[in-house]
Amino acid sequence: MGVAPSGACARFAFAATFVVAAALLAGCGSGEEASSSSTSAPPATKQPSNGNSTAESDSPPPSSSEQPKQQKPPPDLPPPTPGSKAAAPGVPTSKEGDNSIQTWGLEASDAEREEASATVQRYLDARAEGNWSTVCQLLAAKPRREQEQFGGGASCAQAMASFAADASPATLREEAEIEVLSFRLGKGYAFLIYRRPDGIFATALTRESGAWRLISVTPNPIS
pLDDT tens digits for range 14-57: 333 333 333 333 343 333 333 333 333 333 333 333 444 333 43
Count CB neighbours of 59 within 10 A.
Answer: 8
Using DSSP, state whether 128 is helix, strand or coil. Answer: helix
The matching CATH number, chosen from 1.10.3430, 3.40.50, 3.30.1370, 3.10.450, for 1-34+104-223 is 3.10.450
Domain ranges across the chain = 1-34+104-223
pLDDT category at 82 given cuts 50, 70, 90 is very high
Is residue 77 pLDDT above 50, yes or no?
yes
Q: Is the pTM of this model over 0.85?
A: no
